[in-house]
């Protein structure tokens, strides 16, 4: 088999097992690949070019990124693909929290610029950091996600080089996108904003020109390569769910759309779709996520070990306010983020941004964040059961190392058994649909 055929076979195994997250990291290893939506509305790698390798590689020399001979692309794929392996992170200077991963320091935070705070999904912290990094020259480009300028219903990776562009891209995008596929994602001078799986892949691949390590999960030394920013993630919904929601709001398939937002313009902000005559239609966050988007998250997200962005330098989350029972409230108010510095590099950056007047910070006990993020807590505590249920149903799962899943599951045996049975039934149902 040629090198690209061997890589294609490895990717096919991940996709057919429903373990592909659609992050796009494999495109870093082979520019002959691209990410396209499948019939179910999820991004999957597709080969666009039959052979991108130079003649010496076609003769059998292992190669890696940018077509350089002497690198084993299959080994790099196995070390970095979140559908094959994810390694719990333990950066120097951090302490490891069972549900939240590595923590150097944590804060309640928001952007000081009211426009940025309003435009962002919670406190506008990642948007504020992105704009500040560009304005001060600490980043030459920011890689993020935004509405496709040619089709506002879709979401695409973007390379941001100005504050104005950063503000335009503010707000969550609850749809498939593959930020890790962008060529500059691994470059020094880049600030990379992505879902936890995308950040995990970029961290594991290492800075461009460096070899990923199967032994350490590709962890780069602190301060090397791109600055990695992430956020708490509940999973990637199908693009088809967005289309169904738009249709139910009265915007038919094929009708012109000038803007589509999932959140932002307040906290948490509404789903809004604007047609070409200026008519705006809205759905609350509770309705859009709870009834349309959330139920369609892809299978890989249901067995995800890291919805909290462990591999990032800085992770942001909604610091929800709750009712008397502890359930998060989704009534609109001024946004508040939780910020976690996971590396010393991230901590230094957050403190510098606060000193520059970009962010307001208040000390936060991470236990408070766990309390207002019940989904993330429960997912981590019941993950071992979901993996067991998947395996019992005949599925395969990625290797997750260092997450102490047994320690989290054992005190919750009854819940774990119930979760395993439910996962078994859902996985069997998924396989019957194929």
pLDDT, tens digit only, all 434 positions of the chain = 777 888 999 999 999 999 999 999 999 999 899 999 999 999 999 999 865 554 444 433 333 444 444 468 899 999 999 999 999 999 999 999 999 999 999 999 999 999 999 888 789 999 999 999 999 999 999 999 999 999 999 999 999 999 899 989 998 899 999 999 999 999 999 999 999 999 999 999 998 765 444 344 334 444 479 999 999 999 999 999 999 999 999 999 889 999 999 987 778 889 999 999 999 999 999 999 999 999 999 999 999 999 999 999 999 999 987 776 666 666 667 889 999 999 999 999 999 999 999 999 999 999 999 999 999 999 999 999 999 999 999 999 999 999 999 999 999 999 999 999 999 999 999 888 87
Q: 366 forms bridges with which residues in the sheet?
A: none
Q: How far apart are CA 234 and CA 211, in angstroms?
A: 31
What is the CB neighbour count within 10 angstroms for residue 395?
Answer: 20
What dihedral angle (degrees, nearest 10) is formed by the CA atoms of 212, 215, 221, 226?
A: 40
The pLDDT assigned to 330 comes to 65
71, 328 Cβ separation under 8 angstroms: no
Quote the tokens at residue 228. 């990695």
Q: 147 forms bridges with which residues in the sheet?
A: 155
Q: How far apart are CA 13 and CA 372, in angstroms?
A: 37
Quote the tokens at residue 239. 């693009």
| Dihedral of alpha carbons 214, 218, 220, 224, sign | positive
CB environment 230-249: b (16+ within 10 A), e (fewer) = bbbbbbbbbbebbbbbbeeb
The pLDDT assigned to 51 comes to 53
Closest alpha carbon to 360 in 344, 377, 378, 339: 339
The pLDDT assigned to 55 comes to 44
The pLDDT assigned to 320 comes to 81
Q: How far apart are CA 270 and CA 288, in angstroms?
A: 8
- Backbone angles phi and psi of 228, in degrees to 5: -110, 120
Q: How far apart are CA 52 and CA 223, in angstroms?
A: 32
- Backbone angles phi and psi of 58, in degrees to 5: -65, -25
């Amino acid at each position: 088999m040629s090198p690209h055929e061997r890589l294609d076979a490895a990717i096919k195994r991940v996709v057919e097992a429903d373990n592909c997250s659609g992050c796009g990291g494999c495109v870093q290893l082979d520019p002959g690949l691209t990410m396209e939506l499948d019939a179910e509305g999820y991004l999957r790698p597709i080969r666009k070019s039959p052979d991108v390798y130079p003649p010496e590689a076609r003769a059998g020399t292992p190669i890696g990124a940018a077509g350089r001979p002497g690198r084993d692309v299959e080994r790099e794929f196995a070390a970095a693909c979140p559908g094959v392996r994810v390694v719990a992170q333990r950066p120097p200077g951090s302490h490891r929290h069972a549900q939240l991963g590595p923590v150097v320091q944590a804060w309640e935070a928001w952007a000081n610029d009211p426009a940025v705070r309003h435009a962002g999904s919670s406190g506008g912290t990642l948007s504020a950091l992105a704009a500040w990094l560009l304005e001060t020259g600490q980043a030459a480009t920011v890689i993020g996600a935004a509405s496709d300028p040619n089709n506002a219903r879709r979401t695409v990776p973007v390379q941001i080089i100005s504050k104005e562009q950063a503000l335009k891209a503010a707000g969550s995008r609850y749809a498939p996108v593959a930020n890790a596929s962008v060529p500059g994602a691994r470059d020094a001078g880049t600030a990379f904003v992505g879902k936890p799986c995308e950040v995990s892949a970029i961290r594991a691949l290492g800075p461009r020109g460096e070899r990923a390590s199967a032994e350490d999960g590709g962890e780069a030394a602190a301060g090397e390569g791109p600055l990695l920013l992430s956020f708490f993630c509940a999973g990637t919904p199908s693009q088809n769910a967005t289309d169904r929601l738009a249709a139910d709001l009265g915007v038919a398939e094929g009708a012109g759309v000038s803007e589509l937002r999932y959140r932002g313009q307040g906290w948490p902000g509404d789903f809004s779709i604007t047609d070409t005559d200026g008519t705006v239609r809205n759905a609350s966050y509770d309705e859009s996520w709870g009834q349309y988007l959330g139920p369609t998250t892809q299978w890989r997200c249901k067995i995800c070990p890291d919805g909290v962005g462990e591999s990032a330098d800085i992770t942001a989350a909604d610091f929800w306010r709750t009712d008397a029972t502890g359930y998060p409230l989704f009534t609109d108010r001024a946004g508040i983020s939780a910020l976690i510095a996971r590396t010393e590099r991230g901590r230094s950056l957050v403190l510098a941004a606060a000193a520059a007047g970009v962010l307001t910070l208040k000390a936060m006990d991470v236990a408070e964040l766990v309390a207002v993020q019940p989904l993330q807590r429960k997912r981590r505590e019941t993950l071992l059961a979901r993996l067991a249920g998947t395996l019992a149903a005949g599925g395969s799962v990625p290797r997750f190392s260092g997450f102490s899943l047994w320690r989290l599951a054992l005190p919750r045996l009854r819940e774990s058994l119930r979760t395993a049975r439910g996962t078994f039934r859902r996985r069997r149902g998924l396989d019957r649909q194929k």
